[in-house]
Amino acid sequence: MVDQPARTDRVQRRWLVTGASRGIGHAIARLASERGDRVCLVGRSADVADIAATLGGDAIGISADVTCAEDLARLAGEIETRWGGLDVLVNNAGLHRGGTIDRVANEDWDATLATNLTGPMRLIRAMLPQIPAGGAVVNIGAVVGFRGFPGDSCYGASKAGLAGLTQVLAAELARRQVRVNMVVPGFVMTEMTATVSERARKTIVNRIPLQRMGQPEEIADVCWWVAGSTYMTGSVIFTDGGLMCNL
Ligand SMILES: NC(=O)c1ccc[n+]([C@@H]2O[C@H](COP(=O)([O-])OP(=O)(O)OC[C@H]3O[C@@H](n4cnc5c(N)ncnc54)[C@H](OP(=O)(O)O)[C@@H]3O)[C@@H](O)[C@H]2O)c1
């Protein structure tokens, strides 16, 4: 009989959220901070510390690029020094590059895979020694990792890979009582989707049963309870207004 780890959402947890300078990552970090947890916001821009300061509480910001091995080692070192451990790791930093297979640039393929797949794998590996039993990893996926959207080969492949990694690590890390799940946003209002043409936006929204785009806070809310649930691992939680049902 394996002991059930104590619920971790009743005590102050330590969160690291990548890509937290804006958009969905920022909403996740803000919600965790507002609910009393300690949060480390990560992004490439130097002002991520200032962004963290606006959250108040114990929030900190560390500038790091998830595609840079040295940055990840530094990040792990800083978390160990400041907090001595980590309870929730959210791999949210993401890059979208488009283009049909005949046109997609090799650099775009490499950058997308490095940010969306290799970065999370390396960060999980770097942080793992500091994540205790009861800890959680939440990976942020995308609907295109599960359905074929023309022109999304790099992004779709990277997110499908992240879904595979989620399931493998859920099985591997269960013996440590560390849970690994994936939250999959649908079409959410952020900088990433700001450049989508009005025509394309209407086409996508028409496909969404709830008939609207999502807000970052609606994704953050799901990440919060996924991080705190004690008997869920290896799961994929679609938070997409029903889009997956209608594709
Ligand atoms: N918006 C949507 O409709 C949607 C749908 C499905 C999935 N998602 C996923 O949700 C996640 C967040 O997306 P979003 O819409 O909030 O995007 P966003 O507004 O473009 O924000 C992306 C965040 O990632 C950070 N980032 C990018 N590359 C990074 C790197 N190499 N190292 C560290 N940080 C990096 C950015 O900060 P800096 O530029 O400061 O580094 C920024 O904070 C992504 O994984 C995305 O694929 C979004």
Residue 95: per-residue pLDDT: 97
20 vs 27: CA distance, rounded Å:
8
Ligand 1 atom having least distance to the Cα of 27: 16
The helix, strand and coil proportions of the chain, stated in percent and rounded to the nearest 5, come to: 45, 15, 35
Which residues have any ligand 1 atom within 6 Å of their CB? 18-25, 42-45, 65-67, 92-95, 115, 140, 142, 185, 187-188, 190-193
Residue 85 to residue 69: CA distance in whole angstroms: 20
What is the structure's pLDDT at 57? 84
Rounded-to-10 torsion of CA 17, 22, 26, 30: 140
The best mutation among 92, 112, 137 to test binding of ligand 1, ranked by most ligand atoms within 8 Å of the C-beta, falls on 92
Q: Which of 71, 190, 218 best tests ligand 1's pocket when mutated (most atoms within 8 Å of CB)?
A: 190
DSSP 88-128: EEEE-------B-TTT--HHHHHHHHIIIIIHHHHHHHHHG
Task: Kindly report the protein residue whose alpha carbon is nearest to atom 17 of ligand 1.
Answer: 192
User: Which of 109, 155, 187, 224 is labelled catalytic?
Assistant: 155
Closest atom of ligand 1 relative to the 185 alpha carbon: 6
Angle of helix 23-34 relative to helix 216-228, nearest 10 degrees, comes to 50
C-alpha pair distances (Å), 13 with each of 83, 147, 215? 10, 34, 24
231 catalytic? Reply is no
- Ligand 1 centroid to residue 91 C-alpha, Å: 10
List per-residue pLDDT tens for the chain, 247 residues long.
566 655 555 589 999 999 999 999 999 999 999 999 999 999 999 999 999 999 988 999 999 999 999 999 999 999 999 999 999 999 999 999 999 999 999 999 999 999 999 999 999 999 999 999 999 999 999 999 999 999 999 999 999 999 999 999 999 999 999 999 999 999 999 999 999 999 999 999 999 999 999 999 999 999 999 999 999 999 999 999 999 999 9
* Residues 6+ away with beta carbon under 8 Å from 46: 63
Ligand 1: nearest atom to the Cα of 96: 47
One-letter amino acid at 174 equals A
**CB–CB of 177/5 below 8 Å?**
yes
Q: Which domains does the chain have, with CATH numbers?
A: 14-241 (3.40.50.720)
Query: Rounded to the nearest whole angstrom, what is the distance from the C-alpha of residue 189 to the centroid of ligand 1?
Result: 12
Residue nearest to atom 45 of ligand 1 (CA): 94
Task: Compute the distance from residue 55 Cα to the ligand 1 centre, in Å.
Answer: 19
Model pLDDT, residue 2: 60
